[in-house]
Chain A
């Protein structure tokens, strides 16, 4: 009631002179600070986004090729004598036939004239060990095919596939040849002589390679010498001797050269065949025939070429002969590139081209079903009890704090817990989605309880009061009104928890879901693996094709995670009620 606005001491309240230079300077400083802060935010966001972009781009660049697969189209005669000699069309008989053998003989027929065990073996290497599966499926589903010749897509091996995806070598070709080439035969070890020193460029290129190798050896020797290590003395001597030897070869520009796998391979394409050069001089070569020549007659200038496979053979997985075969098939249009359905329909395999994520996806799905079934009811009921019914006392506080602590426990500890309790104490099956799901349920339970409590808390108490006011019991008020309103929040929390569980690897390692399992699991007690564990397993394998598979599996995992999180957001937006 009394007026206190006048200071009894008589000092007038201080005013801000908004027109003073100091004031406007302060104002400017404030705006500058605002702008600076905004830029900090933008910079932080840009850094985070660029990291994410680099990560995603890297994964996609590595993984996308794995979604495509090359195969070889060949006419395969399905001989009744091999598949079903008794003519009963018995299913087990049909399943057990040697389709791979048929595929191999069809392949041998497609490249005639390959002789020698080693060469035949190299030819067969372009086919996957699962190349016969396509044939088997076709025959089993349609036995009428037996006796016919069927044009079939035969799966290529991982090295062949990788080569076709561009991870082998570049092939370059001399522009034109000036002389008449004379081959000494059509197969085996032959010589090719030319009338116009057509091989001098190749020889010079080889010498240049040798020169750079010699330089590298000298540099290495110098480096070791600088280290002044006594143990290196012997090695330095070896290096210098090797360099000297190379230098002698380089210094004699017209001497013949032997080619080895450490320098780029040279091949001569002549009369429809291909000769791999082993010995090179200005006017002729000696080499082994990879693809047989049609004839041993003279080749006119320009009709034959010298090819170079630029990556040395020792630096790549794919052999020169395999490159030659694949290039031949490519030119003939027999190589087909298709979507790699096998990646989604097959289980794990030791052969990269046969390995798929189906087993891991099914394993993950089964595991998540167990997790959801275990932790959603328990989590939601626990949240309702804690939020709405539990007396507020020390015990409740203790439980609450420990639920929060549980959310921070490292996941590997949950794995150890699962190992000790579910496997050793209860004796549940190892490597099974049942145990994996239960362990992940332990992991996700705190998240679900915390989010469900937050969702319940966010429902205004007036709704509960209104229900109580018309004579509903507390339980009715909660189950009829509060819980339905909290449900979108609970679902969101659960889905995010599930997404967390989906990406979890460590606890699954502990309970043995890390085994190599080829079969797609059919039930929750069968051995299985999960998507992130599959990624972990593949990332460890030495075959380069598995690197791409790893990235592809990561893409699948990320896609599933994005879909799950997207669903969570969609659910929240759709069912969110406002009041």
Chain B
């Protein structure tokens, strides 16, 4: 097990030495009804980097991710307390509208979920509802640029009118990424984006994340420790609703401070 981790580490780019904090969470608690899902989570996520959340199933990492764009608001029994700020602004504050927030914090889901519409319409939907394009030419420009950034343009440029659901799984997921970057968010949240994909498609998405982090802050939840090691600069380990340990990815995988992190990354549980 140690061998595979260290081989994964070789892929890690040089961790950013210093970057301004983009997202900051302090004392975040989440309850689903009477059940507490997250306990006192404190974490800082640096700008323009990839942050990975790892941990066993049900540890709360997805819940926390969904707090960052207030997607949990759609779950009726869910209550969030504590503070989460983006660029110093409390996203649960009274002057923040969750719909507006989600246009700044894009999200890519576990299962590729393109709209059952054309590829063009999939990407154009966000810019259209936010009135980002003045006319059709501009809209086409945005769609092309987004698909290029998502590395999908070459594959779909001749069939933009075909249904988004006709693409392969990996293409669908890149379409979803193109859809979320079409409205130029600051942050992209990815909830296990590769768990439904084969290794080749996974590799493409990982390459893509590496490129995207030049412009966006990316937070990714993953079950694959190798993936976390390959793509992220910082890693946070969640266990039973608590954030156990957070730090530079290299440090977490080579020299974890907590025994539970050590057990998890060496495959003792999870």
Interface residues of A (CB under 8 A from B): 391-392, 460, 462-463, 465-474, 476, 480-481, 485, 577-579
Contact = CB atoms under 8 A, between A and B. Distances in A.
B113 A474 contact: no
B125 interface: yes
Contacts of B130: 471
> Which 10 pairs show the lowest CB-CB distances between chains A and B?
A471-B103, A462-B113, A470-B126, A469-B107, A577-B116, A471-B102, A466-B113, A473-B99, A579-B165, A579-B116
A480 B130 CA distance: 14
Nearest to B70: A468
B125 A469 contact: no
Contacts of B14: none
Contact of A469 (B100, B116, B165, B180): B180
Interface string B68-82: 010100101000000
Contacts of A474: 74
Contact of B125 (A462, A467, A485, A578): A467
Contact of A485 (B109, B113, B116): B116
A470 B99 CA distance: 9
A143 B74 CA distance: 76
Residue among A391, A465, A469, A485 with the highest chain B CB neighbour number at 10 A: A469
Given A470-B183, A476-B129, A460 B113 contact: yes
B111 interface: yes
Given A463-B113, A469-B102, A472-B129, 20 more contacts: A462-B109, A462-B111, A463-B115, A463-B116, A465-B113, A466-B109, A467-B125, A469-B69, A469-B106, A469-B180, A470-B180, A470-B182, A471-B99, A471-B100, A471-B103, A471-B129, A476-B129, A480-B125, A578-B165, A579-B165
B114 interface: yes
B269 to A, nearest CB: 9
B103 A470 contact: yes
Contacts of A480: 125, 129
A469 B109 contact: yes
A577 B100 CA distance: 30
A391 B75 CA distance: 11
Contacts of B109: 462, 465-466, 469
Contacts of B115: 463, 466-467, 481
A515 to B, nearest CB: 50
A480 to B, nearest CB: 7
Contacts of B52: none
A466 B176 contact: yes
Chain B interface residue number, banded = 20 to 34
Contacts of B179: 466, 470
A471 B125 CA distance: 10
B256 to A, nearest CB: 20
Contacts of B125: 467, 470, 472, 480
A194 B125 CA distance: 102
27 contacts: A392-B76, A462-B109, A462-B111, A462-B113, A463-B113, A463-B115, A466-B115, A469-B69, A469-B102, A469-B108, A469-B180, A470-B106, A470-B125, A470-B179, A470-B180, A471-B99, A471-B102, A471-B104, A471-B129, A472-B99, A476-B129, A480-B129, A485-B116, A578-B116, A578-B165, A579-B116, A579-B165
Interface in B143-182: 165, 176, 179-180, 182
Nearest to B104: A471
B24 to A, nearest CB: 22
A476 B115 CA distance: 14
B70 to A, nearest CB: 10
Interface string B109-153: 101011110000000011001100000000000000000000000
B102 A470 contact: yes
Contacts of A468: 71, 74, 102
Nearest to B164: A579
Nearest to B172: A579
A392 B176 CA distance: 31
B105 to A, nearest CB: 9
Contact of A471 (B108, B116, B183): B183
A471 B126 contact: yes
A384 to B, nearest CB: 15
A479 to B, nearest CB: 11
A465 B71 contact: yes
A466 B113 CA distance: 7
A485 B113 CA distance: 14
Nearest to A466: B113
Contacts of A473: 99
Contacts of A467: 115, 125
Contacts of A392: 76
Residue among B76, B107, B113 with the highest chain A CB neighbour number at 10 A: B113
Residue among B129, B130, B176 with the highest chain A CB neighbour number at 10 A: B129
Contacts of B76: 391-392
Interface in B204-243: none
Contacts of B69: 469
Contacts of A463: 113, 115-116
Contacts of A476: 129
Contacts of B102: 468-471
Nearest to B76: A392
Contacts of A577: 116, 165
Contacts of B106: 469-470
Nearest to A388: B74
A472 B176 CA distance: 15
Contacts of A462: 109, 111, 113
A460 B106 CA distance: 20
Contacts of B113: 460, 462-463, 465-466
Contacts of B99: 471-473
A466 B106 CA distance: 10
Contacts of A485: 116
B175 to A, nearest CB: 11
A460 B113 CA distance: 9
Contacts of B108: 469
B76 to A, nearest CB: 6
A107 to B, nearest CB: 70
A460 to B, nearest CB: 7
A489 to B, nearest CB: 14
Nearest to A481: B115
Contacts of A460: 113
Nearest to B102: A471
Contacts of B180: 469-470
Contacts of B183: 470-471
A578 B69 CA distance: 29
A142 to B, nearest CB: 58
A392 B78 CA distance: 13
A579 B76 CA distance: 26
A466 B114 contact: yes
Contacts of B107: 465, 469
Residue among A460, A463, A468, A476 with the highest chain B CB neighbour number at 10 A: A468
A466 B74 CA distance: 13
A469 B71 contact: yes
A471 B131 CA distance: 12
Nearest to B100: A471
A416 to B, nearest CB: 39
A469 B116 CA distance: 16
Residue among A470, A473, A474 with the highest chain B CB neighbour number at 10 A: A470
A474 B179 CA distance: 18
A90 B126 CA distance: 71
A392 B102 CA distance: 25
A390 B202 CA distance: 39
